[in-house]
Structure 1
């Protein structure tokens, strides 16, 4: 982290340890991620989020994470940037239960995890139009579908950050 210009506080380190410990524990019982060790989870999930942080413009306040899974990148982003208001959505209830548990254990505020299925034809009506400065997504469907889902929810000068794999 220090190489990326981030000097972690004791609170951040503790919160990341809690997150990773809970993720590892829950993943033993229910499949939240294909990664099996805490080391793999830390390298992949925290590493991906640190990459994303470099692309966040100044003045960002409201973030939507579509298909957050085990909180990547949204929940981890909140740990690094507690000033952000973040909505995490996922279509799988067990993942949302995990997220709500971690949010409660750590005592995070201004972050909400919601069970919600989104598609270009089915955008939740309770999200106000143009209400998010940044919409993030990791490995969720084709880019054109993500763009159609994001467009009505994105503020006029907003940004979509799609974290896609090599395929």
Structure 2
């Protein structure tokens, strides 16, 4: 598994069955990727660690009480499909909404959801076009700068909701830019897959 085993990730104790479900998902990504470009060719060689494990590390930081979870710009399902798969065993009453405006990618996501029997649905619209969702948890990976993501979070989170965003090595700069527009509390968690990257856990978003 390219040096990573989900069972060894801090805060995640998944069953072998869940790992097998994620392997099935990995196979589906590899099957569909040449047609609809779910992940870059360069990253496909490290699909398990770079996308699946990188997405899975978010799971321990989702509050247990978060029942309605929103993943925007889901693309190939990172992190939404991965989180929904782990939740199947560990948080069985959790529901996911995956927002993906690309119709081909949305079709792929629906196929994965059916294949793995996940508690998830796909909205094939742009996030700007959706009615307020009132989610408990909001995430997005490689979609937009933090300042833009906080606009979406304000629109679609309930007042007590939290956001978790994986960010690359420019995460501190993104925080500074976002603080020009918003006040928010955040926790900075170092990524387990890239020492230069971080996971931002954010709540209490208010306009400046």
TM range (shorter): 0.7 to 0.9
Q: Is the 8 A contact 1:67 1:137 kept in 2?
A: yes
Structure 1 stretches lacking a partner, 5+ long? none
Over 4 Å off, 4+ runs: 35-39
Query: Which residue of 52, 56, 73 corresponds with 1:50?
Result: 56
1:41 aligns to 2:47 (yes or no): yes
Q: Is the 8 A contact 1:88 1:114 kept in 2?
A: yes
C-alpha separation in 2, matches of 1:98 and 1:147: 27
Per the TM alignment, residue 107 of structure 1 is displaced from its structure 2 partner at its CA by 2.0
Distance 1:35 1:164, change over 3 A: farther
Structure 2 stretches lacking a partner, 5+ long? 1-5, 171-208
1:152 aligns to 2:155 (yes or no): yes
Q: Is the 8 A contact 2:36 2:105 kept in 1?
A: no
Query: Which residue of 2, 6, 21 corresponds with 2:7?
Result: 2
TM-score (norm 2): 0.71
Q: Per-residue displacement from partner, 1:55-85 (whole Å, max 9, x unpaired)?
A: 2122111100011111111110011112220
Matched residue, 1:115: 124
Distance 1:36 1:20, change over 3 A: farther
Q: Is the 8 A contact 2:70 2:138 kept in 1?
A: yes
1:98 aligns to 2:103 (yes or no): no
Helix, strand or coil at the partner of 2:46: helix
Matched residue, 1:87: 97
Helix, strand or coil at the partner of 1:26: helix
Q: Is the 8 A contact 2:11 2:60 kept in 1?
A: no
Which one has more relative contact order, counting CA pairs under 8 Å at least 6 apart? 1
TM-score (norm 1): 0.87
Matched residue, 1:141: 144
Q: Is the 8 A contact 2:68 2:136 kept in 1?
A: yes
